Amino acid sequence: MISRANIRAPNPATAWVDPAKGIGIVLVVVGHVTDGLVRAGVPFDADVFAVLHDTFYSFHMPLFFFLSGLFFLQSLEKRGLPTFIAGKVDSLLYPYVLWSLVQGFVEVAMGRYTNSGAQVSDVLALAWAPRQQMWFLYALFFVFVVSACARTWLGSRWIGVLGVLALLGYFGRHWLPAVPLVSYLALYLVFFVAGAWRRSEVRVPRQVGAGALALAAVGFVLAEVLLQAPWLQELGGWSLLLSLVAAFAGIAFVVTVSRWVATGPSPILTVLGRHSMAIFVLHTLFASGARIVLQRFLHVEDVTVHVIAGIGLGILAPLVIGVLAERWRIGGLFEAPEALRLERRATRRPATQAID
């Protein structure tokens, strides 16, 4: 996702990637804030919440898996399998463990005020049962591992084989074991593979006009309207196909908007994208803290105040921390510190052959 180590825009042709991450991370914060308010009993219009929740959650996490796939082959072929996986331990598994423990024990300590009701045993089960938003780092690490092994062992056939397996997993996930890791792979591997397959899209900068933007918007809105229609449940297996189409429609819309934004000055979204790891791992602590202070101590129940405070603090506070950590070169917050980095110690193997 989300750190620069995972998605980096190496040239102007990929300037749109950071704004795309910026849009995605804002949607993550908005989704978590509104969900937390509803679960905490803050008055929130049920219809508005349902539309927001169903819309954001239909595509915002698939978006990050898609973006993560864009530079996968480039990174793997440059580093080789052992070094590549070691790098993902440093940039994904390390912050997953660190912030799962930090956030988890804060939730335990503040248990009387939070929605989670976390126990110490829940926090320590992070090896097989990720909690809260941290599941993404856990899932993305294993998506990288599975994809890297497939590319190394299967050669140029990997994307076809893994693509078919990913589609089978997506449509057949209800018959798979109810294990978190299996469920994550079944739900999201298809989007990662799609990103790796469309990697050529990031090589040539393209101008996006109003027509393309309007077409992407119409496709996205139409897909969401169909996805949230009351009769969807009657479609049975066809609803899974529609959910897949809606996810890709949302991804296409964000990519199109990001390409359009990238043609002009877009400092806000770019900065948010570059620091999306900090926002991702920290936003729950600050947004939940804002809700607890407002609701439990100041007795504020106005949903507008809660939304503004939760989203504002959930984005700005982590952003400030991320910027300061970068400026002051504080290591160990969002990826492994130099002394612990496995990538430096990994045995370098010859890079895999590039796919034509």
Among residues 19, 18, 47, the alpha carbon closest in space to that of 34 is found at 47
pLDDT in tens, 130-176: 999 999 999 999 999 999 999 999 999 999 999 999 999 999 999 99
CB-neighbour burial class of residue 163 (10 A; exposed 0-12, middle 13-18, buried 19+): middle
Name the residue type at position 347.
T
Residue pair 78/151 in contact (Cβ under 8 Å)? The answer is no
- 3-state DSSP assignment of residue 81: helix
Q: What is the pLDDT of residues 257-267, one digit of tens each?
A: 998 888 776 68
Tell me how crowded residue 204 is: count the other CB atoms within 10 A of its CB. 7
Tokens representing 98 are: 């660190």
Name the residue among 26, 43, 4 with its Cα closest to residue 334.
Answer: 4
DSSP code per residue over 227-295: HT-GGGGGGTTHHHHHHHHHHHHHHHHHHHHHHHHHTS--HHHHHHHHTHHHHHHHHHHHHHHHHHIII
pTM for this entry = 0.92
What is the rounded distance in angstroms from the CA atom of residue 280 to the CA atom of residue 282?
Answer: 6
Rounded to whole angstroms, the Cα distance separating 88 from 93 reads 7
d(CA 323, CA 313): 15
pLDDT of 112 higher than 90: no
When pLDDT is cut at 50, 70 and 90, the band that residue 239 belongs to is confident
